[in-house]
């Protein structure tokens, strides 16, 4: 044995060195072989790529999409809207791929989807098509409207709004391009967990009409499950996450006029900032492992300014008192983009972290978890009809931050964010298997549906009277009660024929939209349905808002179809999620039993009482084709109505200021020698111009800057994509060419003590059509 050999003298030393060298060589050979085997063992099954792009749109004059309230006109920004995308491709050459885009928008639009696909076809050929691309909306009710092609959905926006449409098509395309160019070897983890306090059922009387035996299978009358995908780059570690959870984007009320991603947009902003801060604190090289054990409750959401110059309190105050407002001066559109706080987060080729909070079967789920109350008495609303003394207009849901809708948005967003971080950190189940997809267009106005031994049909689209009553999240403006079954007379637009009345029964038809064709289609007939498969994760893309129980029935039916096929493709561990409001929009889907009650959701189930059965039938066919490898007929193509669109929104004619005043000049300045403490708000008002002249896409209208101590030396600290900053725009009257921009900033707990100022960017249009960019800054103030 080697251990028994006695080595001595020079010869012994030479033999000892030779022995050590031999063992070192053997160790290196074994190590290399081991590492090689290990590398082969963890070789990625997927290529993954993520992307994100600004889709905020016009922040003035445009009606917001969601509440159908003609008085809800955009007049500023709460925080910006974004499109976020992931692409997953099989690692093998020629392998299949899927792309999923999540929009901070009320819903997807058929015409937007059509035009995005045309652009992708021109750029990539058949790599991205209607079959494998899903475009989904989070259902915020605080984004610009006018981007759908059917009349029903653009009446309150005075028709089609080209800016709203263009910013979505451009943003989605750029997001997918980013994700495509970011494709790299990586892995995916999936995790699920319950979030109990971010949604309640807003139509409980309808839910209770579902069979008792079915209801008792579930602990709650809304889905509490969040399903999260965690994307991990082989080299860089975690690069993003997408999750699906059911709650409406109605934390912001029907009277809000600031563009906002509502609670899901806020959650996405919080999580991306969280990751960026942790990566910054721990270093890019260690961010991946360090984040796995971080305490979300210790994380401060707001990012901070570098280049901090230590100063005493007296020095800060003295420095602040010496800096006055700048007055307006010319700028460029590029300057706004370069001053944004959030630039692309990269070191070398490291992709930005992208986090999306997607929508699922939210049809009857409200984020206003404190319940619905009468605004005149403070008492709970009527249980069956959500009315107060017979009037629906008085019944409003209350969020957890009531009466502050911004605080309610923050709280519901924060709850989703914290649950997502928990699932992100604890994710351990690796996604394994193939990538696949199936897609089909179906004419839902006349679909034959087999239920047992009976064949029934869906109907042309129609909306019932309870649609006009609205919901507790946004009551209607007319005295229609939820659950109204009386056959009221309405002959304003079109009287439905007897066949339609019978088909839609027991819905009393208010608007027979499926049969209204002037000046063009009022509602869709042809809808897309789609299944995306990534290993054991199956995403069902639906073009509507499914109620809680409707979503459960669809998921269960597809899961049974996948797992009972007799193949080894899927087992009981398959994760089936619904992506709501995807690829187009066709309002609601309830169960047959909920439809009979005719609450808002039932009245908005367009294609009659058998709509859900039609979806289940057709999705089971897609699932069967997915398992068997069979192709699916494309079905009838939806119409392209872009050339028929009518827009009645007046253009910006011109902007002007009073004599002697420049754009960007201060109208109301920060108080002299102002000192702001954490949690306090400071504001300044500037002479401004209409935000529609330049949307400042990937830029900002508002900035909080911090002095670095030098002469006119400032760094950006917060912008109009920050939850703590609000950009408000106003004009004295609708025909006035004068306007003001007010920047309000509430100093967050993470704000660094120092000297700050508020800065506005804008673009003014002359009478002859030229657009000139400008900027201006307030006097400085102290943050302690």
Domain ranges for the chain, please list them: 46-281+352-446+508-644, 651-783
Name which of 565-574, 599-608, 661-670, 763-772 the model is least confident about: 565-574
Q: Can you tell me the distance from the alpha carbon of 260 to that of 253, in angstroms, rounded to the nearest whole number?
A: 11
Using CA atoms, how far residue 138 sits from 18, 167, 360, 509, in Å, is 68, 17, 9, 29
Binding-site residues from annotation: 139, 248, 545, 588
Query: Please, are residues 436 and 626 in contact by the beta-carbon 8 Å criterion?
Result: yes
Q: Can you tell me the distance from the alpha carbon of 746 to that of 58, in angstroms, rounded to the nearest whole number?
A: 24
Tokens coding 734: 């609708």
pLDDT for residue 483: 52
From the list 366, 408, 525, 541, the catalytic residue is 366
Q: How confident is the model at residue 6 (pLDDT cuts 50, 70, 90)?
A: very low
Classify the phi-psi angles of 281: left when phi > 0, otherwise alpha if psi is within -120 to 50, otherwise beta.
Answer: alpha
**pLDDT, mean of residues 731-753:** 95
Using CA atoms, how far residue 712 sits from 175, 364, 581, 706, 779, in Å, is 36, 53, 48, 10, 12
**pLDDT, mean of residues 706-721:** 89
pLDDT for residue 44: 81
Q: Can you tell me the distance from the alpha carbon of 332 to that of 335, in angstroms, rounded to the nearest whole number?
A: 5
**pLDDT, mean of residues 482-509:** 74
Query: Please, are residues 387 and 570 in contact by the beta-carbon 8 Å criterion?
Result: no
**Could you tell me which CATH number the domain at 651-783 has?**
2.60.40.2300
pLDDT for residue 32: 36
Q: How confident is the model at residue 348 (pLDDT cuts 50, 70, 90)?
A: low
Q: Can you tell me the distance from the alpha carbon of 192 to that of 112, in angstroms, rounded to the nearest whole number?
A: 32
Distance of CA 437 to the CA centre of its chain: 23
pLDDT at 533 exceeding the cut of 80: yes
pLDDT for residue 233: 96
pLDDT tens sequence across 371-399: 999 999 999 999 998 999 988 889 999 99
Kind plus residue range of the DSSP H or E element containing 290: helix 287-291
**pLDDT, mean of residues 754-771:** 96
* Complete DSSP assignment for 493-556: S-PPPHHHHHHHTTPPEEE-GGG--SSS-SS--EEEEEEEEETTEEEEE-SSEE-HHHHHHHHH
Q: How confident is the model at residue 332 (pLDDT cuts 50, 70, 90)?
A: confident
pLDDT for residue 347: 52
Binding-site residues from annotation for Zn(2+): 139, 248, 545, 588
For the chain, the average pLDDT equals: 89
Beta bridge pairs of residue 118:
none
pLDDT tens sequence across 87-111: 999 998 889 999 999 999 999 999 9
* Structure-model confidence comparison of residues 196 and 481, the more confident one: 196
Query: Please, are residues 234 and 284 in contact by the beta-carbon 8 Å criterion?
Result: no
Q: Can you tell me the distance from the alpha carbon of 774 to that of 195, in angstroms, rounded to the nearest whole number?
A: 46
Q: How confident is the model at residue 320 (pLDDT cuts 50, 70, 90)?
A: confident
Distance of CA 76 to the CA centre of its chain: 19
pLDDT for residue 323: 81
Percent of the chain with pLDDT over 70: 86
pLDDT for residue 346: 54
Pairing of strands 474-475, 537-541: unpaired
Name which of 45-54, 200-209, 267-276, 557-566 the model is least confident about: 557-566
Compute how many other C-beta atoms are within 10 angstroms of the C-beta atom of residue 38. 10
pLDDT for residue 338: 65
Beta bridge pairs of residue 209:
none
pLDDT for residue 343: 58
pLDDT at 631 exceeding the cut of 90: yes
Query: Please, are residues 160 and 646 in contact by the beta-carbon 8 Å criterion?
Result: yes
pLDDT tens sequence across 210-268: 999 999 999 999 999 999 999 999 999 999 999 999 999 999 999 999 999 999 999 99
pLDDT for residue 664: 97
Per DSSP, the three-state class of 686 is strand
Catalytic site residue 366?
yes
Q: Which residues of 390-419 are buried (b: 16+ CB within 10 A; e: fewer)?
A: eebbbbbbbbbbbeebbebbbbbbbbbbbb
Q: Can you tell me the distance from the alpha carbon of 466 to that of 600, in angstroms, rounded to the nearest whole number?
A: 5
């Amino acid at each position: 044995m080697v251990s028994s050999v006695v080595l001595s003298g020079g010869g012994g030393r030479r033999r000892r060195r030779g022995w050590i060298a031999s063992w070192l060589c053997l160790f290196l050979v074994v190590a290399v072989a081991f590492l090689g085997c290990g590398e082969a063992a963890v070789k990625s099954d997927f290529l993954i790529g993520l992307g994100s792009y600004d889709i905020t749109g016009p922040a003035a004059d445009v009606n917001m999409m969601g509440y159908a309230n003609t008085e809800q006109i955009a007049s500023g920004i709460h925080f910006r809207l974004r499109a976020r995308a992931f692409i997953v491709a099989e690692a093998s050459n020629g392998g299949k791929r899927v792309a999923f885009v999540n929009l901070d928008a009320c819903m997807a639009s058929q015409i937007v989807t059509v035009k995005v696909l045309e652009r992708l076809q021109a750029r990539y050929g058949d790599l991205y098509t209607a079959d494998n691309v899903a475009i989904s909306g989070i259902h915020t009710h605080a984004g610009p409207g006018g981007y759908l092609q059917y009349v029903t959905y653009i009446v309150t926006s005075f028709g089609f709004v080209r800016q709203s449409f263009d910013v979505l098509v451009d943003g989605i395309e750029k997001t997918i391009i980013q994700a495509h160019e970011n494709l790299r070897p990586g892995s995916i983890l999936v995790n699920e967990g319950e979030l109990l306090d971010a949604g309640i059922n807003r139509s409980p009387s309808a839910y209770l009409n579902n069979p008792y035996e079915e209801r008792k299978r579930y602990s709650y009358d809304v889905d509490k499950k969040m399903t999260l995908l965690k994307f991990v780059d082989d080299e860089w570690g975690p690069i993003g996450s997408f999750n699906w959870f059911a709650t409406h984007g109605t934390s912001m009320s029907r009277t809000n006029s600031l563009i906002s991603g509502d609670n899901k947009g806020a959650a996405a902003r919080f999580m991306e900032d969280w990751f960026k801060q942790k990566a910054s604190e721990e270093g890019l090289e260690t961010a991946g492992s360090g984040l796995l054990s971080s305490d979300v409750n210790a994380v401060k959401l707001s990012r901070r300014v570098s280049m901090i110059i230590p100063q005493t309190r007296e020095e800060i105050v003295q420095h602040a008192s010496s800096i006055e407002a700048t007055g307006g001066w010319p700028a460029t559109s590029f300057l706004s983009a370069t001053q944004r706080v959030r630039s692309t987060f990269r070191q070398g080729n490291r992709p930005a972290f992208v986090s999306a909070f997607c929508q699922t079967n939210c049809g009857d789920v409200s984020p206003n978890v404190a319940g619905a109350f009468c605004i005149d008495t403070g008492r709970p609303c009527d249980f069956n009809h959500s009315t107060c003394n017979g009037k629906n207009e008085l019944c409003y849901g209350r969020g957890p931050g009531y009466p502050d809708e911004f605080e309610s948005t923050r709280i519901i967003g924060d709850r989703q964010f914290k649950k997502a971080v928990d699932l992100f950190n604890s994710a351990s189940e690796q996604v394994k298997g193939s990538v696949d997809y199936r897609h089909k267009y179906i004419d839902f106005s006349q679909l034959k549906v087999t239920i047992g031994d009976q064949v029934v049909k869906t109907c042309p689209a129609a909306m019932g009277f309870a649609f006009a009553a609205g919901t507790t999240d946004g009551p209607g403006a007319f005295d229609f009660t939820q659950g109204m079954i009386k056959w009221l007379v309405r002959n304003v637009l079109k009287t439905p024929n007897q066949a339609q009345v019978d088909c839609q029964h027991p819905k009393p038809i208010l608007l027979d939209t499926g049969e209204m064709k002037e000046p063009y289609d009022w509602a869709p007939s042809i809808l897309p349905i789609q299944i995306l498969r990534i290993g054991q994760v199956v995403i069902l893309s639906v073009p509507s808002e499914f109620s809680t129980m409707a979503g459960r029935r669809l998921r269960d039916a597809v899961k049974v179809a996948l797992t009972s096929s007799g193949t080894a493709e899927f087992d009981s561990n398959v994760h089936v999620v619904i992506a709501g409001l995807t690829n187009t929009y066709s309002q609601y889907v309830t169960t047959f039993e909920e439809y009979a009650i005719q609450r808002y959701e039932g009245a908005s189930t367009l294609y009659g009482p058998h709509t859900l059965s039609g979806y289940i039938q057709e999705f089971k066919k897609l699932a069967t084709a997915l398992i068997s490898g069979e192709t699916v007929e494309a079905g009838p193509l939806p119409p392209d109505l872009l050339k028929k669109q009518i827009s009645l929104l007046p253009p910006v004619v011109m902007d002007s200021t009073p004599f002697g005043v420049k754009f960007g000049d201060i109208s109301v300045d920060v108080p002299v020698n102002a000192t702001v403490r954490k949690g306090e708000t400071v504001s300044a008002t500037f002479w401004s111009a209409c935000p529609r002249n330049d949307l400042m896409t990937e830029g900002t209208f508002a900035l909080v800057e911090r002095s670095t101590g030098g002469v006119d030396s400032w760094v950006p600290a917060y912008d109009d994509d920050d939850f703590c900053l609000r950009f408000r725009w106003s004009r004295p009257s609708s025909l006035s060419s004068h306007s003001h921009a007010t920047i309000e900033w509430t100093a967050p707990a993470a704000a660094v003590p120092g000297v700050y100022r508020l800065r506005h960017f804008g673009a003014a249009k002359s009478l002859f059509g030229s657009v000139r960019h400008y900027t201006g800054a307030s006097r400085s103030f102290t943050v302690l």
